[in-house]
Structure 1
Amino acid sequence: MTEAAAAQRLSSPAAPLDADDFANTRDLLETAALAYGDRDAYVEADGSRIGFADWVARARAVAVDLLARGVGKGDVVALMLPAGIDYAVCYAGAAMIGAITTGLNPRLGPLEVSGVLAKAAPALVIRDEDLGLPPVPAGLDVLPRSALPTIAPSGIAVPYVPLGRSDPVAIIFTSGTTGLPKGAWFDADNLAAFSRSAGVMSAPFDRRLTATPFPHAGYMAKLWDQLVWGIALVASPVPWSATRMYEVLRSQRITVGGGVPTQWAKLLDEPGVSRESLPHLRVGVVATAPAPPELVERTAARLGVPLVVRYAMTESPSICGTEPGDPPEVLFRTVGRPQHGMSVRVTDDAGRPVPTGEIGRVRLAGDCVMRGYWREPELSTAAYDEDGFFVSGDLGRFTAEGNLQLVGRTDDLYIRGGFNVHPLEVEHVLTEHPRVREVAVVGEPTPVIGETGVAFVVPTHADSPPSLDDLRRWSLDRLADYKAPDRLVLLDELPTTAMQKTDRGRLRAYLEAHPAPARSTTTKE
């Protein structure tokens, strides 16, 4: 789209732009700058903000600087920066010249950083020198964050670089819970598909509260979504509290809020929280853990907005989702139906579809699925079946209504006395217990019967935690007897990976260091 054509849009409502009108990310960035001008694009936790026009202007300056440093089309730029304006500017600047951005979560350790950089092979690493991040391996060029252009010279122009929709834009590394991370790469067609699959999550000029680390798929894959809809990303308060979340929701006129179930529950208990005090909020997203039906109902009654659930993974940042009109039980038990442009199958190990209600491997296809793993052609080929479906590590089943219910991962499953146990299924049941705030279930090797289940529980109230007998009775009333946990470990919080997923590897390491006693007991850590 030419600048003149983009300027014509200013006489009519600017959002949404049509993703099909744009040949590449650079054209979309330039049009969004013209269409949205000074509207907020990013608001940081300290109140710093930048509009679309200034974001793109600074990105132009970074693009010119990258070219001067020898970075060009097809080169990788690695960002070791905190989530915020500078990260967004560098991502956009790299996209303008056809460079490919990957981000490194600031929580990664030295081994993980070295592994990611070895696989990404960046031409340049842009690093915040004041965050105490792991060092960059010798031999890689590093640009300190302090050396980034902070002012965009008037009239600066980015030299022309031929770009297309099939050119890579981003590499997003997996969390590496089962080994060193793998880099899923995405092109502009992928990013356009994400904007079309957003559904209720995106509306013109949304103001979205986000705590997502920017190297995560929840940000990297959604660049076109933000530009198409004119969305402002507003940082969640750090440290989090219900009072501070309420203040940000109100003062920043947030339209799309996100949080784990306990955060939503605490928000509802805040004095003054009501539909009248949060008139702009139109939808809430539940992350990480299932939303109990009573929470969905309380939110609708108190705030007048629906909660929704989304299912995604690094290799496909859009897969399934619930809709605002879905019954509360659907949000609690399932992850909804395939989103626009996505196809989902549940199959046996040979790739044959299993009947509705039976558990199988989740496979997916569509333009939201990655193009492959960066610089790993054999691994990429092995990731897809002969029909072109990506074979995930997730296990699930379809309900009669067409909703996908996840029951765990292939590497999480444990076998107790010859019976398969899917931890996620047990976790969903234990989460309903009033004394359980968070829970993760892990299999533990045991003589004779093979493995038994250990429930790692964060209690709702530390002074009145559930007992093992409480949880076993609760489970036995709802599940097969072999699925009830045999051991309980109480924690102050569940360990998480750099991508904020439950770190089951650390839980298994705990069990190796603290083997089960002769009789099932409760352990407090």
Structure 2
Amino acid sequence: MSGEFDTVDHLLAAAAAQQGERDAYVGPDDRMSFAEWHLRSDLVAEELRRRGVGRGDVVALVMPNSCDFAVVFAAIAKLGAVTTALNTRLGPQEMEAIAQTCLPRLVVRDGTLATPPLPGEPRSLLRSELAGIYARVAVDPPRGQCNPADPVVIMWTSGTTGNPKGPYLDHRNLKAVSDAAGPMSTPGDRRLVPTPFPHAGYMARLWDQIHHLTTVIIGVMPWSVDSMLRQIVEERVTVIGAVPTQWEKLVQFPGIDELDLGSVRVGLSATAPARPELVERVKEVLGCPLVVRYAMTESPSIAGTRPEDPPEVQFRTVGRPQVGMEVSVLADEGEVGMVRIRGACVMRGYWNDPARTAKAFDSEGWLLTGDLGYLDADGNLVLTGRSSDMYIRGGYNVYPAEVESLLVTHPKVANVSIVAAPAPTIGEIGVAFVVPVPGETVTLDELREFVRRNLADYKAPDVLHVIQELPTNAMHKINRSALRELAKASVTTETAPASAAGVGR
């Protein structure tokens, strides 16, 4: 799109003027053009202003993925106010903790959802009222009420219950995320979003979508592989971003080879490297590369692989720093250390939490990610795990991600996750939860031998649980907390290292 812009309101106005007829959103039940998005958000912004929302105020969204969600999000930004979207699957304790941190002036909610009320009873705008607002005569738009340094969105760290952290981004951050998009965004893309909108995968890409005039295909919720494939075919999707568990289920879907999926030009695997068989299978089925992106709520763009990278880079690393970003490892060259990042995509801080904001950054302005890894000879970042996931077995540090990335190359292993469990004498042991390749039988002895041939012997798992599917959370990420509880319950004080306890459970 032509022109230079520094705030979301001016950017959306230009998109509506230049390509207003183009689809901005296509959902299971409705669709909306860029012109409609712009007009509706003007009308909703005026209604929000009448209800007391102004620059710097927080507005909470408790709504499902929809065109209405996008309208309200843009309307809030036009006022210079701040959006915080709450996943509709959150419980009362989680919603209360978030609301007490961000203190929303108003909540926009879907009255048909069985979601708990927010504490303090902030005023509400019901989704059912939006249709009437859209039908009003156009008003003078609320322009000029925001500047590039104004916060736009607060997101919440996943897995938080009673002590949430809310990274927030301003207009400059959102523009930087778009600048860093690389091959994931080209003009006129049709991008399928199969995850909840409150996630950074949608919220942080508002600028990117408008700038590239991208049509967002709203994924059917709750997610299923058959509905995802149907939307890819019917809506001629060009870009798909999904987590590894979603990709695994997609390529294993019966009859997928018979579908016309030729519209897809690139796929993205978020949160973790993709196993080699998955990279190859995606290319075979979709005819497109699968790239890996490393990001976090505190920085929606950090590093990534490129479509032209060889498979071993895709499944072993998370690539090189993206445009505007720096990556550093606090260790000697080639050694494992804390990953830190710096750049235009990094959050401005945690909302209403100066103490934790100060703790997150070092004296040089680097954000400490909590991830462990190292940079290889080509500058690719190799993640070995979270500092909180590392365990100490007999005095030796073990990084589960390093062992997992090896085990998924075993011909009998479809997926694996390793967590620690307490053990007598040696402190902690590794418990492997393995999903075998259909028709295969996996034993602890053969997995331990496989690890010993490639890594130090103390890194081999001590206990094996064979399961049909790894548990996942609302974002379809592996639920390591649930696995830790299972491991702790199954490993008793009598369990010795290298035990076959749990095999077949």
TM-score (structure 2 length as normaliser): 0.93
Question: 2:408 aligns to what?
Answer: 431
| Pick aligned residue for 1:144 from 123, 126, 129 | 126
Report whether the alignment pairs 1:255 with 2:238: yes
1:477 counterpart letter in structure 2: R
Q: CA RMSD in A?
A: 2.1
Report whether the alignment pairs 1:483 with 2:463: no
Q: Contact conserved, 1:73 with 1:161, CA < 8 A, in 2? A: no
Q: Contact conserved, 2:45 with 2:75, CA < 8 A, in 1? A: yes
Q: Contact conserved, 1:100 with 1:170, CA < 8 A, in 2? A: yes
Question: 1:402 aligns to what?
Answer: 379
**TM-aligned CA deviation for residue 133 of structure 1:** 1.5
Distance 1:304 1:39, change over 3 A: same
Aligned partners of 1:336 and 1:217: how far apart in 2? 20
Point out where structure 2 has 5 or more consecutive residues left out of the alignment.
Answer: none
Q: Contact conserved, 1:245 with 1:267, CA < 8 A, in 2? A: no
Question: 1:388 aligns to what?
Answer: 365
Aligned partners of 1:305 and 1:524: how far apart in 2? 36
Question: 2:187 aligns to what?
Answer: 204
- Paired residue secondary structure (2:258): coil
| Pick aligned residue for 1:40 from 8, 20, 23 | 23
Question: 1:272 aligns to what?
Answer: 258
- Paired residue secondary structure (1:400): coil
- CA-to-aligned-CA distance 1:56-89 (integer Å, 9 cap, x gap): 1111111011011111110000111112211111
Aligned partners of 1:107 and 1:312: how far apart in 2? 23
Report whether the alignment pairs 1:511 with 2:487: yes
Question: 1:522 aligns to what?
Answer: 502
Aligned partners of 2:420 and 2:364: how far apart in 1? 33
Aligned partners of 1:226 and 1:119: how far apart in 2? 29
1:60 counterpart letter in structure 2: D
Question: 1:116 aligns to what?
Answer: 98
Point out where structure 1 has 5 or more consecutive residues left out of the alignment.
Answer: 1-14, 349-353
- CA-to-aligned-CA distance 1:300-357 (integer Å, 9 cap, x gap): 3454311111000000000001001100000000000000000110014xxxxx21x2
Alignment of 1:64-463 (within 5 A): 64-150=46-132, 151-177=134-160, 180-238=163-221, 240=223, 242-259=225-242, 260=244, 261-266=247-252, 270-273=256-259, 277-348=260-331, 354-355=332-333, 357-461=334-438
2:351 counterpart letter in structure 1: W
Aligned partners of 1:502 and 1:58: how far apart in 2? 38
**TM-aligned CA deviation for residue 242 of structure 1:** 4.8
1:415 counterpart letter in structure 2: I
TM-score (structure 1 length as normaliser): 0.90
The percentage of counterpart residues that share the same residue type is: 49
Aligned partners of 1:113 and 1:239: how far apart in 2? 20
Aligned partners of 1:432 and 1:381: how far apart in 2? 40
Aligned partners of 2:53 and 2:221: how far apart in 1? 35
Pick which of 233-242 and 88-97 moved more: 233-242
1:297 counterpart letter in structure 2: E
Aligned partners of 1:466 and 1:409: how far apart in 2? 27
**TM-aligned CA deviation for residue 39 of structure 1:** 1.2
**TM-aligned CA deviation for residue 478 of structure 1:** 2.2
Distance 1:502 1:180, change over 3 A: farther
Question: 2:8 aligns to what?
Answer: 25
Pick which of 288-297 and 220-229 moved more: 288-297
- Paired residue secondary structure (1:147): helix
Aligned partners of 1:295 and 1:33: how far apart in 2? 39
Aligned partners of 2:105 and 2:199: how far apart in 1? 21
Q: Contact conserved, 2:94 with 2:160, CA < 8 A, in 1? A: no
Equivalenced residues, count = 497
**TM-aligned CA deviation for residue 253 of structure 1:** 1.1
**TM-aligned CA deviation for residue 508 of structure 1:** 2.0
Distance 1:241 1:91, change over 3 A: closer
